[in-house]
């Protein structure tokens, strides 16, 4: 743990409570563990100055927490603390922990000597140097002293000290360079010091397939997860644990009738106990699983410790993904700058847009008109119609083409994190904010910001976006400094924003500010003459990617594709052609046309965005037992307000018979 990450113990005006041993970005759960523990905890630096102390230790010494800050044990407790200082120096010099060290202290605030027992553990910095020492202290009663049990008289207190030591080591390891996947075996071995586990895995949720997939593991000779995924809507144990966000411990008897293929394979591999801990971060969800070949290997105290460890893993996972996004944006910036000369040529501007229909040419004509200005553009249209391609074309034809275009899908980010993604946040702004984050607005300064699915921005965040559009300034989350930006906004949505305004789900002033220059992308059914061009384009693209040579497309197949309505528009056509290329064995395309002919009207409805939304809402209502509001209600599961959900249910004509048993 880095010494400059510790806060000094005791705040002015707080005579009892200690300061947090960790900064706010480490998460309130670890701080609560430190503070609420019945064992006395303290952290000392390499000059033996107290950096942190909890309430339990302040109560033992009878000295207010603020009077510990920056002082040595001798300055706090008097000359009798010389043995404690000698022990601290020994741990600092050797880097080895010392357990059950007994000492007699004559405290200034107490009339008679007191007998204490302590465990001392080294805290390393990122370079592996011991710069701090943690101390876990308890007072020994006369009876305990006679029995020479000391700290061992209370295993739960000793266990709490071991857990804190492990959590601090875990934090140091996670702060070192490298990705979480690379560090995971070391993290697993660290956890094994205090938890009886033989194997550990980290599984991450794939948002598209809604399946848990292996991310990292340690201790497996063969991994049961390599050949199969775990669908979270499966009624088996891991799926339920992830959905309910609950830590679960299973024993061998629980394995016997499990419907989970993963758990059956774990049983067949000889494991007797299994602990499953959800991992939730701002950029995804997953599961930490630990397995043991011993029965009853995991305790309730282990579960608490593992939940704290999982919180740190989630923060590390967020950091990895944030670095990936930053690297991707840097590449995109370079790509935009590197292609400036090419983009200056109008003939290349629409290279990504395939089609020659009259309705498409009309849209591209409007793009040429609005692009040179800095006017806000609102791109409307059904899902899969290429709204992002239109946004990129506008950027390439604008005077900002040499600057970056930053993109944000407002529907893909949880409501509570959207503000951070858009405006950024300061270090410590909220739990998990372990460093300063630059938002998309700042990244797009001098260029273009593309907000996809802008209709899904929560209404409480809309005034802040409106301020940016009007005044070109904002503050990061948790910050005080006003930041000015020069950004052109392009927004897109498949929703009827006017209707959302009427339903009071979208601010009218923001709507009018976005509706400066509306562009509507036509659905594929209105540009059927473009379908042959798109089909040939996708066949060439996927043939190259899959190393196939497809030279012809049957005329009857092309006619079937032209006459299909494509409710998912170009995205649906692209996916269908990719599947067709995969299925083709020879040089003539063999599309599975029976899929199109066999769809019933209800299946067609489900293929549309509205149908998918309706099906998802009904499923969440069923899982919530028909309850709409409350912590476990469908509205909370969907991340929307109760009134919003009721409005969507009314619009989609969802009745109670569909989701109530």
Q: Which residues contact 492 (CB under 8 A, 6 or more apart)?
A: 378, 379, 380, 381, 387, 388, 391, 450, 451, 452, 453, 454
pLDDT at position 43 over 60: yes
Instruction: Give me the helix-helix angle, 555-563 and 531-545, nearest 10°.
Output: 120
Torsion, CA 328, CA 329, CA 333, CA 339, rounded to 10? 50
Question: How far is it, in rounded angstroms, from Cα 85 to Cα 107?
Answer: 15
Q: Angle formed by the axes of helices 28-36 and 300-338, to 10°?
A: 150
Q: pLDDT digit string (tens) for 332-364?
A: 444 444 333 333 333 456 778 888 888 999 999
Which of these CATH numbers, 2.30.130.10, 3.40.50.300, 3.40.50.720, 3.40.190.10, describes 339-520?
Answer: 3.40.50.300
Distance, in Å, from the CA atom of 260 to the CA atom of 225, rounded to the nearest integer, reads: 12
Task: Please check whether residue 542 is in contact with residue 401, taking contact to mean a CB–CB distance below 8 angstroms.
Answer: no
Can you give 279-308 as a three-state secondary structure string? EEECCEEEEEEEEECCCCCCCHHHHHHHHH
Pairing of strands 517-520, 377-380: parallel
Dihedral angle sign, alpha carbons of residues 136, 52, 16, 79: positive
Q: Which residue has the higher pLDDT, 488 or 36?
A: 488
Q: What is the CA radius of gyration of the chain?
A: 30
Cα dihedral angle (600, 567, 411, 214), rounded to 10 degrees?
Answer: 60
| Residue 416 in this model has a pLDDT that exceeds 60 | yes
Range name among 16-20, 248-252, 278-282, 468-472 with the lowest pLDDT average = 16-20
| C-alpha triplet 610, 616, 620: angle, nearest 5° | 145
pLDDT of residue 516: 93
Residues 6+ apart with CB under 8 A from 90: 98
The C-alpha torsion from 522 through 638 and 620 to 318, rounded to 10°, is: 100
- In words, the CATH class of domain 606-658 is mainly alpha
In terms of C-beta density within 10 A (0-12 exposed, 13-18 middle, 19 or more buried), how is residue 552 classed?
exposed
Instruction: Please list, in sequence order, all residues whose beta carbon lies within 8 angstroms of the beta carbon of residue 195, skipping any fewer than 6 positions away.
Output: 275, 290, 297, 298, 302, 305, 306
DSSP-derived letter for residue 473 is E
Q: First vs last Cα of the chain: how many Å apart?
A: 53
Helix 531-545 with 569-583: angle, nearest 10 deg: 50
3-175: CATH number: 3.30.450.20
Tens of pLDDT, residues 223-266: 444 434 454 444 456 666 666 667 888 887 766 666 666 777 77
Dist CA 613 CA 609 (whole Å) = 6
Look at residue 23 in the predicted model and tell me its pLDDT.
36
- Cα of 382 vs its chain's centroid, Å: 28
Q: For the segment 86-134, what is each residue's pLDDT rounded down to a tens digit?
A: 888 888 888 887 777 888 887 766 667 778 877 888 887 766 788 888 8
Asked if residues 138 and 154 have their Cβ atoms less than 8 Å apart, the reply is: yes
Instruction: Quote the pLDDT of residue 606.
Output: 47
How many C-beta neighbours within 10 Å does residue 454 have? 26
Give the pTM: 0.45
Give pLDDT tens digits for 642-656.
777 877 787 777 877
* Rounded Cα gap, residues 562 and 555, in angstroms: 10
Is the pLDDT at 149 greater than 80? The verdict is no
Residues in contact with 611: Cβ distance below 8 Å, sequence separation at least 6, in sequence order? 604, 605
Going by the DSSP 8-state scheme, the letter that residue 19 receives in this structure is: P
Q: Provide the mean pLDDT of the chain.
A: 76
pLDDT confidence bin for 2, thresholds 50/70/90? very low
Q: What angle do CA 448, 514, 207 make, to 5 degrees?
A: 65
Same fold for the domain at 3-175 and the one at 524-598?
no
| Percent of the chain whose pLDDT exceeds 90 | 15
Question: What is the C-alpha to C-alpha distance for residues 401 and 177, in angstroms, rounded to an integer?
Answer: 35
| The pair of three-digit structure tokens given for residue 478, joined into one six-digit string | 């948790």
Determine contact, residues 155/125, Cβ cutoff 8 Å.
no
Q: Are 534 and 569 in contact (CB under 8 A)?
A: no
Residue 478 pLDDT > 80: yes
Is 223:214 a contact under the CB 8 Å cutoff?
A: yes
Residue 137's pLDDT band (boundaries 50, 70, 90)?
confident
- Predicted confidence (pLDDT) at residue 6 exceeds the cutoff of 60: no
Q: Quick one: how far is CA 329 from the chain centroid?
A: 18
Rounded mean pLDDT, 19-46: 59
Please state the rounded mean pLDDT for residues 415-442. 80
159 band by pLDDT with thresholds 50, 70 and 90: low
Please check whether residue 203 is in contact with residue 287, taking contact to mean a CB–CB distance below 8 angstroms: yes
What CA–CA distance (Å, rounded) separates 349 from 520? 19
CATH number of 196-319: 3.30.450.40
CATH class of 524-598: mainly alpha
71, pLDDT greater than 80? yes
Q: Among candidates 507, 434, 442, which has minimal Cα distance to 474?
A: 442
Closest CA to 535 of 481, 492, 578: 578
Q: Where are the domains of the chain?
A: 3-175, 196-319, 339-520, 524-598, 606-658
Model confidence pLDDT, tens digit, residues 364-378: 999 999 999 999 999
What average pLDDT does range 458-463 have in this prediction?
A: 90
CA distances from 550 to 553, 555, 556, 578, 590 (A): 8, 14, 16, 12, 10
Cα separation, 151 vs 556, whole angstroms: 83
């Amino acid at each position: 743990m880095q010494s400059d990450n510790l806060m000094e113990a005791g705040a002015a005006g707080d005579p009892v409570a200690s300061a947090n041993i960790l900064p706010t970005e480490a998460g309130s759960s670890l701080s609560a563990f430190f503070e609420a523990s019945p064992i006395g905890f303290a952290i000392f630096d390499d000059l033996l100055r107290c950096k942190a102390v909890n309430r339990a230790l302040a109560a033992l010494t009878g000295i207010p927490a603020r009077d510990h800050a920056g002082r040595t044990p001798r300055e706090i407790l008097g000359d009798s603390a010389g043995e404690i200082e000698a022990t601290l120096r020994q741990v600092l010099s050797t880097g080895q922990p010392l357990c059950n060290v007994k000492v007699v202290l004559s405290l200034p605030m107490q009339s008679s000597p007191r007998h204490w027992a302590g465990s001392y553990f080294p805290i390393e910095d990122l370079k592996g140097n011991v710069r701090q020492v943690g101390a876990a202290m308890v007072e020994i009663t006369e009876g305990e002293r006679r029995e020479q049990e000391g700290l061992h008289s209370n295993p739960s207190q000793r266990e709490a000290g071991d857990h804190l030591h492990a959590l601090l080591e875990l934090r140091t390891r996670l702060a070192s360079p490298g990705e979480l996947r690379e560090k995971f075996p070391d993290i697993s071995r660290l956890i094994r010091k205090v938890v009886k586990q033989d194997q550990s895995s980290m599984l991450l949720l794939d948002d598209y397939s809604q399946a848990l997939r292996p991310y990292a593991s340690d201790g497996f000779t063969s991994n049961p997860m390599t050949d199969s995924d775990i669908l979270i809507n499966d009624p088996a144990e891991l799926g339920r644990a992830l959905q309910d966000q609950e830590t679960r411990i299973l024993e061998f008897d629980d394995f016997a009738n499990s419907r989970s293929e993963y758990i059956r394979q774990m049983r067949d591999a000889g494991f007797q106990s299994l602990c499953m801990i959800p991992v939730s971060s701002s950029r995804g969800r997953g599961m930490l699983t630990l397995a043991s070949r011993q029965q009853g290997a995991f305790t309730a105290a282990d579960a608490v410790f593992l939940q704290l460890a999982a919180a740190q893993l989630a923060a590390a996972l967020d950091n990895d993904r944030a670095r990936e996004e930053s690297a991707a944006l840097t590449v995109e910036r370079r790509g935009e700058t590197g292609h400036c000369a090419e983009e200056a040529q109008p003939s290349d501007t629409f290279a990504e847009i395939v089609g020659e229909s009259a309705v498409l040419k009309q849209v591209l004509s409007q793009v040429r008109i609005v692009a040179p200005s800095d006017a806000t553009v609102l791109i409307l249209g059904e899902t899969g119609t290429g709204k992002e391609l239109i946004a990129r074309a506008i950027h390439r034809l604008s005077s900002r083409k040499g600057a970056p275009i930053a993109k944000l899908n407002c529907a893909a980010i949880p409501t509570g994190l959207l503000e951070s993604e858009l405006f950024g946040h300061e270090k410590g702004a909220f739990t998990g904010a372990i460093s300063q984050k630059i938002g998309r607005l700042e990244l797009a300064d001098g260029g273009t910001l593309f907000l996809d699915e802008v209709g899904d921005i929560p209404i409480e965040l809309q005034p802040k976006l409106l301020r940016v559009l009007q005044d070109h300034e904002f503050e990061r989350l948790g910050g005080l400094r006003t930041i000015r930006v020069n950004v052109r906004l392009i927004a897109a949505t498949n929703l009827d924003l006017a209707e959302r305004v009427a339903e009071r789900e979208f601010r009218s002033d923001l709507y009018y500010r976005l509706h400066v220059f509306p562009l509507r992308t036509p659905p594929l059914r209105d540009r059927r003459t473009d379908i042959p061009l798109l089909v040939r384009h996708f066949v060439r693209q996927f043939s190259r990617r899959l190393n196939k040579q497809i030279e012809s497309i049957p005329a009857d197949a092309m006619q079937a594709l032209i006459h299909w309505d494509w409710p998912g528009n170009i995205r649906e056509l692209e996916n269908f052609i990719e599947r067709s290329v995969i299925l083709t064995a020879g040089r003539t395309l063999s599309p599975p046309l029976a899929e199109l002919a066999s769809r019933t009207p209800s299946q067609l409805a489900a293929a549309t965005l509205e149908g998918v939304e309706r099906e998802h809402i009904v499923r969440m209502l069923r899982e919530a037992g028909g309850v709409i509001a409350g912590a476990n209600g469908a509205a909370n599961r969907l991340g929307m307000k109760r009134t919003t959900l009721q409005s969507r249910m009314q619009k989609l004509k969802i009745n109670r018979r569909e989701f109530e048993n």
